[in-house]
Amino acid sequence: MKKVLVLFAISALISACASAGNESVSRNLSAMSDEIASLSSSVGELRSTVDELVLKSDALSAENAQGAEMIGELQTEITYLSNEVTLLKGTPKAPAPSEATAAAVPAAPASPKIVIIEDVKAVKESLYSFALDLYNQGKNSESIAKFKEFLSKFPGDELANNAQYWIAENYYTLEQFTKAIEEFGAVISKYPNKAKAPDALLKIGYSYHEMGRNNDAINSLNEVISKYRSSDAAKLAQQKLSEWQ
């Protein structure tokens, strides 16, 4: 009988402990769930903040890039204009007359003169660089105008064939292929022995190809190979012929 009572007591004690343990575990799990929910909410807020910062950073980067581009364009134009307008102005002075001459001849009113001296080399280089910068910026019409201005001012310059070539290249970029062929042809006719002649003939072939005139394109590239065999243009022509045929 005593053994039965002892066993019953032990059983009751185990049940009580198990019940108490389950309640403790439940409380702990509930607390952990609340903490996880709180952390999840904090993480969500942090992600939202990070997203906002990323958007602001992207906007600032875009503004900075645009500003840098505008500054670059302004610096280019300033350099060109400052070089083109670099003038030395002076008023030449006549020698002072002697007392006798001054008494005999009434003084004539002074007519100031302006002596203008241009740094031709600086203006030339600045104008060419400005025109090329306009091409690189995609301002093709403005670039054409400046290269034509260069040719009108310095028709015999060593860069004249380059200027004519870049006029044609601008038209090619604008996909005005008929005009491009005309201007590339001017490079060949006016400067047949200059460095840009092979490239101009190559680009005539490219222009014909863009216009769908494949026979003319192939003939132009074959002409590049036969006339300028050792040039880089001839190598490019050979590669293009392999692709087209």
Instruction: Write the DSSP assignment of 131-190 as a string of letters.
Output: HHHHHHTT-HHHHHHHHHHHHHH-TTSTTHHHHHHHHHHHHHHTT-HHHHHHHHHHHHHH
pLDDT of residue 161: 96
The pTM is what?
Answer: 0.57
Q: Where are the domains of the chain?
A: 26-85, 120-244
Q: Give per-residue pLDDT as tens, 83-113.
A: 555 434 444 444 444 544 444 555 555 555 5
pLDDT of residue 100: 47
CA 31, distance to chain mean position in Å, is: 59
| pLDDT surpassing 70 at residue 227 | yes
Which residues lie below 8 Å from residue 233, measured CB to CB, with a gap of 6+? 198, 199, 201, 202, 224
Q: Give per-residue pLDDT as tens, 121-167.
A: 888 999 999 999 999 999 999 999 999 999 999 999 999 999 999 99
Mean pLDDT computed over 208-233: 96
Superfamily of domain 120-244: Tetratricopeptide repeat domain (1.25.40.10)
Mean pLDDT computed over 63-87: 61
pLDDT of residue 50: 67
- Percent over 90 (pLDDT), the chain: 49
pLDDT of residue 140: 97
